[in-house]
Amino acid sequence: MFTSIELCAGAGGQALGLEQAGFEHLCLVENDHHACETLRLNRNHWHVLEEDLRQFDARKYAGVDLVAGGVPCPPFSAAGKQ
């Protein structure tokens, strides 16, 4: 099995696809509270870190097979609301 971490995970669409492709998520990082609650509700075995990506320390995940991300979500989301 391959391992992954996901940055700016949102509500987990990409993470679900990666899980179906055989990846085991070591953690998912997301700063939106509602998105994190959705992740926890739908996949309670995922390790969801509700924090700002700028504070995330990835050193303990050295050697992970895949770093995935849904960036740049905040700028796109802000632009979409205008």
Q: What is the pLDDT of residues 26-68, one digit of tens each?
A: 999 999 999 999 999 999 999 999 999 899 999 999 999 999 9
pLDDT at 71: 74
In the annotation, is 27 catalytic? no
| Structure tokens belonging to residue 82 | 């205008």
pLDDT band at 78 (very low <50, low <70, confident <90, very high): low
pLDDT at 81: 56
| Parallel, antiparallel or unpaired: strands 23-30 and 2-7 | parallel
Q: Per the residue annotation, which of 8, 27, 36, 73 is the catalytic one?
A: 73
pTM: 0.84
Burial 24-58 (b: 16+ CB within 10 A, else e): ebbbbbbbbeebbebbbeebeebebbeeebeeeee
Inter-residue contact 22 to 3 (CB < 8 Å): no
